[in-house]
């Protein structure tokens, strides 16, 4: 019997006797951190005041730009194939720009939002696999805060309605909608790995702009209009299993 054959038999025996590395199994908590990019697929209703266009002869709408922040995700595995996942992040900040007949280069305002998303995740691979793709479906709750309007909007609205020194404010309602995700972990060791994931979330908000005169007195307000953000969210980062 050759030396190489004996070594091969010995190595095979050791591998057979060693327990298979468990990627994910019941009771594990999985933490993921990385770069999260929100890319809205946006649209909005026309902005009106008393049913008339906000600006004479113009179809005024809004668009929402993209933003990148630190993404944080945690998953608790209650079986080796099913887990509950929660998406969190540092606050996303978006410029609100013109749409419709208003140039997209015109900044009308800005807002911040947090999009906590809870999903039921399914991992189809055996727990011993280093590669762990997964799919998830759940609910997204988006809360908007620190809404601001721009000096450009103030001056345009003031001129349109003959309100010297006009100022404006923006209100955005919170949103609740469906979210779906597709992701993949690749474990480099028992506890550490790489992650990539994408989400789509149904985020719609009802918006309203109020107008004030130079003394800060209420002067007018727009009709409530819907803004659909419906973003794709992309995240790449690291995975750590506890």
pLDDT band at 185 (very low <50, low <70, confident <90, very high): very high
Is there a contact between 128 and 21 (Cβ–Cβ < 8 Å)? yes
Q: What does DSSP assign to residue 10?
A: H
Give how many domains the chain has, as a whole number.
1
Find the CATH number of the domain harbouring 104: 2.40.160.20
Domain span including residue 141: 3-241
> Per-residue pLDDT for 18 more than 90?
no
**pLDDT tens readout for residues 31-79:** 999 999 999 999 999 999 999 999 988 999 999 999 999 999 999 999 9
pLDDT band at 23 (very low <50, low <70, confident <90, very high): confident
DSSP string spanning 80-115?
Answer: SSEEEEEEEESPEEEEEEEEETS-TTSEEEEEEEE-
**pLDDT tens readout for residues 191-219:** 999 999 999 999 999 999 999 999 999 99
CA dist., res. 47 & res. 182, Å (int)? 35
Q: Which of 135, 83, 139, 146 is nearest to 115 (CA)?
A: 139
pTM of the model: 0.86
């Amino acid at each position: 019997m050759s030396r190489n054959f004996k070594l091969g038999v010995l190595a095979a025996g050791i591998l057979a006797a060693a327990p298979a590395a468990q990627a994910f199994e019941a009771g594990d908590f999985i933490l993921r951190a990385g770069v999260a990019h929100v890319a809205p697929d946006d649209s909005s209703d026309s902005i009106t005041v008393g049913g008339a266009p906000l600006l004479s002869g113009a179809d005024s709408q809004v668009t929402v730009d993209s933003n990148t922040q630190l993404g944080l995700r945690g998953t608790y595995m209650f079986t080796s194939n099913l887990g509950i996942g929660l998406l969190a992040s540092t606050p996303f900040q978006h410029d609100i720009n013109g749409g419709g007949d208003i140039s997209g280069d015109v900044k009308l305002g800005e807002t911040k939002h947090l999009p906590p998303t809870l999903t039921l995740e399914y991992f189809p691979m055996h727990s011993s696999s280093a590669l762990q793709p997964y799919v998830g479906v759940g609910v997204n709750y988006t809360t908007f805060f620190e809404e601001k309007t721009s000096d450009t909007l103030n001056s345009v609205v003031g001129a349109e309605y003959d309100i010297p020194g006009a100022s404006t404010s923006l209100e955005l309602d919170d949103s609740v909608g469906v979210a779906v995700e597709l992701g993949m972990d690749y474990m480099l060791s028992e506890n550490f790995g790489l992650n990539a994931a994408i989400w789509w979330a149904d985020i719609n908000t009802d918006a309203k702009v109020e107008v004030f005169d130079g003394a800060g007195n209420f002067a007018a307000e727009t009709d409530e209009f819907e803004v659909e953000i419906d973003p794709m969210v992309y995240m790449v980062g690291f995975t750590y299993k506890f």
